[in-house]
Each structure stands twice: as structure tokens, then as C-alpha cells.
Amino acid sequence: MHAIERLIYNRIRFHPRLKKSVTTIYQSLFSLVPGPKIDSSFPVQIREGYFFGFHDKCPWSLDNSKLLAHKFDNACSFPEEGDKIIIGYFNGDSSAEYVPLAQTPTWNWQMGSMLQWVGETGKILYNDYDGERHVARIITCNGELVATLPRPVAALSIDGTHAISHSFIRLRKVARAYSYPIGAEEKADLPITDKDGLYLINLVTGTVKELFSLVKIAAIHPEDSMRKAYHYFTHPLFAPNGERFVFFHRWVTPAGQTWTRMFSSDISGEKLHLFKTAGVVTHTAWKDNQRILAYALIKGIGDHYYLFTDLTDRFEIIGKDYFTSDGHPQFAPDKKRFVTDTYPDRHRRQRLIIYDTENKIPQLLLNARSPLRYRGDVRCDFHPRWDRKGNQVAFDSAHTGTRALCTVSLPDLK
């Protein structure tokens, strides 16, 4: 985002309908300019007809031999009730073999079905619908059902012992791209309720505990913009040791403006901490058990990647002179580097970038051009994800004209 674009963006960023119209017109004009579909000096493998989902999980098995993926039928239609995707994995680093395991109607293009590995067990978790409610299933690599959890999973601890759950039906009203098209809850129509909140699931015992309600969190330093707004929880993420997690409290005003606060908590719902951001926080990644990277706005400073220290007001700006817009970060296994992406620019080019936090050096891995029809709720963000060894990055892309799960090998970046 260059200086003039940044100036215009800052003027319209808090006017969602205007921002959407301006962005669409602007990109529609520049998308007519010819250019390469993808540009990279690194080898890229493309698997059309598959995708993974969000940037906060590792899709590779513990031994790096299996790559989780969703298989779909229609690449650019928003999922409707009854639409299902296939759960499965690719076997081998370069093999084209896809092993299907199950189907689910609870999914979206941004986060898939929350498909992920369960700790070091070799088992797989995904969200599903049992005919009455959203649940989570745990299966083996052969597709054998091991357990059904009574609530859908929004985040899973790295050791696979605990999960955070919230309502995906509430998201349907104001954050459709992250919701599920099937299921109903009477409380979902209420702007705010003490009958819905964040829940802790113990995967060892199967017990579910409510940590806090929407009403409780909204009552902490309430803001004027919360009046008559619709509230919901989203984007929980565990620290590496599983003892604490962050989450977003979001509310949408009658005018359609979304505001966000980031909290952290321990898994008992105690030691709650509110980070000092100014209504804008988007995507997060834990660097270690105390520090979390987030793209956010801080009053008097601006929006940047910030490395926050949990339970304090301390932070540092990361890549201040390089990153000028939001992205989806994930730290490498060495915790020294993170990979992130950008949203489509005026030419509809998305960039994949690695940033060395010790030497403060960015490296562009590739850029790819997303077709104009992949925007809004059916957009195809890269959502980059490292493998277990730090030698590959998986990302979703539509640069070929259809959605695809891609991997880029990084032999010179070990």
C-alpha cells in the first residue's frame, strides 16, 4: 500500500460500505492490466480443488508425511445448507495421492472445518453437525471415529488436551465468512446475551466449562460504540504451552462498523488481560508463551504488526518500515521467523513474505494474482502455514483461476 492509497484508506476504513465500493471499483480497473499469474524463484506445487483454511494451525502430521486438506466441488460459491466438503490428507511430500476420510456440512472458505491434528496422537479433529447441533469429531488416519465432542472447536491446544469453543451460528449474522450454513440457535438473534460465551472443552475427560459470557466481557471497560451493537467472540488461540489463550471480543454497530478488542486468559477463565489497542485487531500468532504478534491499531501510533507481552502493557513494533497493511502471520518452528501474506493490491496481487525478527530482514517468496471474482465472503486469502521442519510453507491460492492448496519449498532458508 503506497502513501496515497494509505491516505485514502485511513479516510474510509471506518466506513465499511464505502470502503467496499471504493476497493471493488479500484481493483476492477487495475485488474484489466495484464500480468503473470504467479511469480516466484522457489518451487511451488499446486493442488487444484483443495484448500486448508486458517493460518493458525499446522496442516502437516508430526512426522511431516501427511498434509491435511479439504476437497470441494464449487470453488467460488458461498456454502449453503447441505453443501459438504470432504476431509482428508495428501500422503507424502510430493505425492498426488489424496486420502478421503469423512464429509462435513460445517465449513467456510476462511477456516474450513477447523481441520487439524490432535497433539501427538496422530488423530484428526474437525467440526461437524449431528442433526441438532454443531459438534467436533476426532478420527484416526483411517477415518475411524474415536470421539465426538459436544461443542464445535474454535481453537485446540498444541498438546491436544484442551479446546476453546464459541458459537459459529452467531457469526452468521455479522461475520458470514466465518460462520457455518447449517444449524440454529434462538439466542443467536440477541445483540448480546449472558447465555452464550466462550467454553473450555477438556478432551481428556470430555467435560465442558463456560469461561465467561458475552455480557461479562462487554461489561469490562464498556465503550459508547457497544450500544445497540451485536456482540460475538472469535479468533481464540492458545499459547504454545496451552496455559493461556487470546481471543477477540467483537461488536458490530447498526451502521455496520466492526470494532475489536483482544483479551488473554488462563484456561480457568482467570487472570484476564485486556490489550491496549484502539478498536482494531485482526490476526495473531504466539512467538512464545509470553509474547504474541498481532496486527493492530494503537492510538497515537498507528496500525502495525505489534509484538505484545502478555499481562503487561509492553509492546514493540515489528517491521515498521516494511509492513504497511494487514496479513496472516505464523511463526516458524525456530520462532525466529514468521511467514505472512498480504491482501490483493490494486492489481489483485497477493504477496507471501518471510520476516526474520532477529535481523529485521524481510524476504519476498512469491506474489500471485487472484481473480476478481474471489473477493468478499468467497475470497481466497493465502493463510500461510509452516511445516514441522521449517522447510515448506502451505498456502491457499486462486491464481490459476480456481482455488488450490499450494506448497512452496524453501531449501535455502533453513
Tens of pLDDT along 270-303?
Answer: 999 999 999 999 999 999 999 999 999 999 999 9
Dihedral sign, CA of 178, 183, 184, 185?
negative
Give the separation between CA 201 and CA 108, rounded to whole angstroms.
Answer: 22
pTM given for the model: 0.92
Give the separation between CA 165 and CA 152, rounded to whole angstroms.
Answer: 6
In a domain, 308, yes or no: no
For residue 414, pLDDT over 50 is answered with no
With 0-12 / 13-18 / 19 or more C-beta atoms within 10 angstroms meaning exposed / middle / buried, residue 128 is buried
Give the separation between CA 152 and CA 106, rounded to whole angstroms.
Answer: 9
Bigger pLDDT: 93 vs 396: 396
In a domain, 12, yes or no: yes
Q: b/e for 337-373, b at 16 or more Cβ within 10 A?
A: bbbbbbbbbbebbbbbbbbebeeeeeeebbbbbbbee
Query: Which residues are CB-neighbours of 216 under 8 A, at least 6 positions away?
Result: 194, 197
In a domain, 182, yes or no: no
Cell 491516505 belongs to residue: 7
For residue 94, pLDDT over 60 is answered with no
Relative to beta strand 123-129, strand 116-118 is: antiparallel
Q: What is the dihedral of CA 346, 347, 348, 352, to 10 degrees?
A: -100
pLDDT more than 70, % of the chain: 90
Residue 397, φ and ψ in degrees, nearest 5: -150, 150
Average pLDDT over residues 211-229: 96
In a domain, 5, yes or no: yes
In a domain, 22, yes or no: yes
DSSP secondary structure of 277-293: --S-EEEEEESSSSEEE
Give the separation between CA 245 and CA 267, rounded to whole angstroms.
Answer: 7
- How many domains in the chain? 1
Task: Tell me what percent of the chain is helix, strand and coil, each rounded to the nearest 5.
Answer: 10, 40, 50
pLDDT in tens, 189-209: 999 999 999 999 999 999 999
In a domain, 13, yes or no: yes
Q: b/e for 45-75, b at 16 or more Cβ within 10 A?
A: bebeebbbbbbbbbbbbeeeebbbbbbbeeb
pLDDT in tens, 22-51: 566 655 655 555 567 899 999 999 999 999
Tell me how far the alpha carbon of residue 247 is from its chain's centroid: 12
**In terms of residue numbers, what domain contains 18?**
1-30
In a domain, 378, yes or no: no
DSSP H or E stretch at residue 172? helix 171-174
Largest CA distance in the chain: 57
Bigger pLDDT: 298 vs 2: 298
Q: How is residue 229 written as a grid cell?
A: 451493537
Say how many C-beta atoms besides its own lie within 10 A of residue 33's C-beta.
Answer: 9
Residue 29, φ and ψ in degrees, nearest 5: -70, -50
In the structure, what pLDDT confidence band is assigned to residue 11 with cuts at 50, 70 and 90? low
In a domain, 10, yes or no: yes
